[in-house]
Structures are given as structure tokens and as C-alpha cells.
């Protein structure tokens, strides 16, 4: 197996599946899934398209692996937030900062980019995108409910709707901020969200 990878790689050395996923993720976050090809990935890594097909039979399989890995990393980030002793408002800020950090790195949310191309993607990718947003909604809903019970967060209506509002606001703000090449639009939306969900403290 290892020797086969070496034979298909360029002089840069063997390219692993992780290298391919890293390159493809950058391309998707910059151009969208339909905006890049295997030729773009092979050019960036200096390997043949045959080497790409060795790891991922086709672009659809590559896309599924991209979402799976992104979901795992995002889940780990949410678990890290859960593991802290921060207050509910601070955990909400930490969640928003995940989006802010992505945009500061001149990237978009991977699943947000893919959602814009939803109708052009295969069913396994569409299902995986749905799971990403469902999990984020459920995590936020649990956080909001905890914050409301503790008297630290306040909002009207069902908790699931409040969670969806936060996700939609962050994803939309990232798209609107993109043409301006800075985080100003996203920063304003995050500040507004935190203010809207925070309970007024007594004087």
C-alpha cells in the first residue's frame, strides 16, 4: 500500500488522504464544491489525478469525507466548549467565535458553502449537511434552555426556533461579510445576538 502511494506522488513526497482533504476543503471554502475539480487539487498538491482516485474514487466520495471530517472537528469544538466552566452567555460567545475564527482565516463555513449548492449535490452529501445543521441546532437549543433555566439567557418562542435563528444569522452574516473582506458585518451580528439573548442585569 505505502509503496503504491509513493509511486503516484510527485517529488514532493507521498500525499495522504488528509493532505487531499485539506486542499479540497480550502477550495470548497473559497470557491464552493462546484467551483473546483480534481485537477485543481492535483495541481495544488503536485500529484496526479490517479493518486487522488486512489484515496477517493470520485468527487462525491471526496465531498462526503470532507463533510464527515468537518462534522467531527466541529463536534470536538462544541465538546470543548461544553467541558468548560463558562457561563451560558460565554458559551454562546464561544460558539459565535467558531464562525468568527473561520471568517478571519478568509474561509467560509464548509457546510454553509455546500448548503448554497444543495440541489446540485448527491443525497449522501445532502444528508450529511442536514446532520451538521441539526446537530448545531440541538446543541444550541440545549445551551439556550440551560441558560434560560439559570436566568442567564432570555428569548421568546420555542427554543428550537431560537437556535435556528442564531445559526441562520451567523451563516448569513458570513456571506454578507465576504465581499468586504473583513469580519465587521459578522462582528455586528454577533454583538446583536449576544445582546438579544442576554437578560438585562439589575442596576
Domain edges within the chain:
1-57, 59-203
The domain defined by 59-203 carries CATH number 3.40.50.720: no
User: Quick check: 71 and 135 in contact, CB under 8 A?
Assistant: yes
Q: How many CA atoms lie within 13 Å of 70's alpha carbon, on the beta-carbon side?
A: 31
What phi and psi values does residue 198 have, to the nearest 5 degrees? -80, 135
User: Quick check: 42 and 121 in contact, CB under 8 A?
Assistant: no
- How many C-beta atoms lie closer than 10 Å to residue 97's C-beta? 14
CATH number of the domain located at residue range(s) 1-57 in this protein:
1.10.10.60
Residue-wise pLDDT tens digits, 52-105: 999 999 999 999 999 999 999 999 999 999 999 999 999 999 999 999 999 999
Do 1-57 and 59-203 show the same overall fold? no
Q: Residue 16: which pLDDT band, with cuts at 50, 70 and 90?
A: confident
Q: Residue 15: which pLDDT band, with cuts at 50, 70 and 90?
A: low
d(C-alpha 184, C-alpha 176), whole Å: 10
Amino acid at each position: 500500500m505505502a509503496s503504491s502511494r509513493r509511486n503516484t506522488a510527485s517529488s514532493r513526497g507521498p500525499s495522504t488522504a488528509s493532505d487531499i482533504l485539506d486542499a479540497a476543503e480550502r477550495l470548497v471554502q473559497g470557491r464552493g464544491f462546484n467551483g473546483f475539480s480534481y485537477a485543481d487539487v492535483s495541481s495544488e498538491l503536485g500529484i496526479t489525478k490517479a493518486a487522488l482516485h486512489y484515496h477517493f474514487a470520485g468527487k462525491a466520495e471526496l465531498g462526503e469525507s470532507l463533510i464527515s471530517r468537518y462534522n467531527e472537528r466541529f463536534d470536538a469544538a462544541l465538546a470543548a466548549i461544553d467541558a468548560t466552566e463558562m457561563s451560558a452567555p460565554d458559551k454562546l460567545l464561544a460558539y459565535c467565535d467558531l464562525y468568527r475564527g473561520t471568517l478571519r482565516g478568509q474561509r467560509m463555513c464548509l457546510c454553509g458553502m455546500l448548503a448554497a449548492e444543495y440541489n446540485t449535490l448527491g443525497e449522501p452529501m445532502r444528508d450529511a449537511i442536514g446532520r451538521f445543521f441539526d446537530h448545531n441546532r440541538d446543541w444550541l437549543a440545549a445551551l439556550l434552555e440551560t441558560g434560560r433555566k439559570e436566568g442567564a439567557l432570555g428569548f421568546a418562542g420555542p427554543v428550537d426556533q431560537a437556535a435556528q435563528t442564531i445559526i441562520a444569522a451567523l451563516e448569513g452574516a458570513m456571506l454578507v461579510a465576504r465581499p468586504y473582506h473583513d469580519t465587521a458585518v459578522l462582528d455586528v451580528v454577533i454583538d446583536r445576538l449576544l445582546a438579544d439573548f442576554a437578560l438585562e442585569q439589575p442596576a
